[in-house]
Structure 1
Amino acid sequence: MNDDQTINLLWGIGALVLVVSALTARRVSFGMLVRSFLGWAAVAAIAWVAVVHRYEIESAFIAATERMGLAEQTTDGETVRIRQAPDGHFYASVTLDGTPLRMMVDSGATITAISAETAANAEIDTDDSRFPVMLTTANGTIAAKRGNVDRVTLGAITTHDLGVVVSPAFGDVNVLGMNFLSRLASWRVEGGTLILVPPPPNPSAI
């Protein structure tokens, strides 16, 4: 056991002792103590499951809202429609190499940008042999690494070998940029809805 693990164990034991002492001082019965412990253990277990399976839960939630007609994103044939969010942006349910996530569609972004966490979860490799890309953002100039996503799926739309930039400076923001939109047959905004039309079926075109 390393030093960090030892410290964490001591903190845990100390916290448990404090809780038990507080309950004892209030003359709480042993049965109540056990029930309280089991209750907190159940809460911790649910939180752990939610974190580990967050992508599967998100996919199930999206599927359920689509069935109820409440989804922000719908597919009509091969055309994808995305309703504008209250903050004025359009958020797409996308999969990158099979990993589902929510991405903001931004025609002002030249290239698709993903966070370092997203790149790790989707197992997207970056090219460390090339100089980083310098990007100008609202928070200043940042350095980002180049990478490629083998397969990007948005509703009925699928494209391959999409270039991306990756940086921890993006935080938890993932942006679908013009290098994706330019591959479509067309895209437009009508009445607060973003409409994405895929190109005709042609393996060499997408």
Structure 2
Amino acid sequence: MPGIRGAGLLLLLAALLMGLFVDNTIAELSAMEASGVVALGGLSLLMAASIVEAFSRHWTYGVQSIAIAGGILVALLVTYASRGELQAVIDRAIGDIAVGRTVVTPEGEVVAARRTDGSFMVQGAVNGHETRFIFDTGASTVVLRAENATALGFKIDNLDYSIPVATANGSALAAPVVIDRLTVGPITERKVRALIAREGVLHANLLGMTFLERLGSYEVRGNRLILRAGTGS
């Protein structure tokens, strides 16, 4: 069955090329969906060739080959039907393995994957110093940990802990500061109001509304956080 196998291999190669290089829709299917259909066709031809060859040897081999092919097809169908849940698991695993890592799309969007605890952590920079933030729309301002303040260019001795704040651990005091330059991916905002919480109050820096409200938009889509720059960024 060299002809059928050859056709199957060609379809698999075509599916790979479509997945890598095609961006437009094909017959109302996305490039990845069309690639999957073509790949399924190629795989079906390869399995059909194996079944015919197995029957030519002995009918018992043919039955075994049909059973194996059926199992493969069922597994593929189950995987396709559960692709949303599978993508969610992959996204969350990426979020935990590459903590703080963000991806920038060709359109300039900053994308982060949800972690298994449900939060989004993004890599940023404060005054040119790299740091990580938890995305938090419940925080009215950007909040930094006192433990990171010196490394981010702030002088601890000049901080005035006079602003009361509510945290998961109760009430605490924080010091008001202004971040000259706060960057996340290609997005940079200047003169961002922020607070520095006392030591032991926070376990992570918070990317709050004094930064988020300057963005063009931000959204949580499935298990992905998407940040878009404003017109002035």
Normalization by structure 2: what TM-score? 0.53
Show structure 1 runs of 5+ residues with no match: 1-64
Q: Which residue of 2 aligns with 1:106?
A: 136
Which residue in the other structure is 1:82 paired with?
A: 112
Q: What amino acid maps onto 2:150 in structure 1?
A: A
**Compared CA separation, residues 189 and 98, structure 1 to 2 (3 A):** same
Give the percent of matched residue pairs that are identical in Structure 1 and Structure 2.
28
Distance 1:70 1:165, change over 3 A: closer
The one of 201, 204, 213 aligned to 1:182: 213
Decide whether the 8 Å contact of 1:152 with 1:159 is kept in 2. Answer: yes
By percentage of residues, which structure has more strand?
Answer: 1
Higher relative contact order (CA closer than 8 Å, sequence separation 6+): 1
Structure with the greater alpha carbon radius of gyration: 2
Note the C-alpha offset of 1:102.
1.3
Tell me which amino acid in the other structure corresponds to 1:137.
T
Residue 124, structure 1, aligned to residue 154, structure 2: yes
Partners of 2:215 and 2:149 lie apart in 1 by 24
Richer in helix (by share): 2
How far has the Cα of 1:70 moved from its partner?
Answer: 10
Please list every run of 5 or more consecutive structure 2 residues that lacks an aligned counterpart in the other structure.
Answer: 1-93
State how 1:131-150 maps to structure 2 within 5 Å: 132-150=162-180
- Specify the alignment match of 1:152 in structure 2: 182
Give the structure-1-normalised TM-score. Answer: 0.59
Distance across 1 between alignment mates of 2:144 and 2:99: 27
Aligned residues: 135
Residue 210 of structure 2 aligns to which amino acid in structure 1? N
Who is 1:94 aligned against?
A: 124
Q: For the Cα contact (< 8 Å) 1:150–1:162, is it kept in 2?
A: yes
Equivalent residues of 1:127, 1:147 under 8 A apart: no
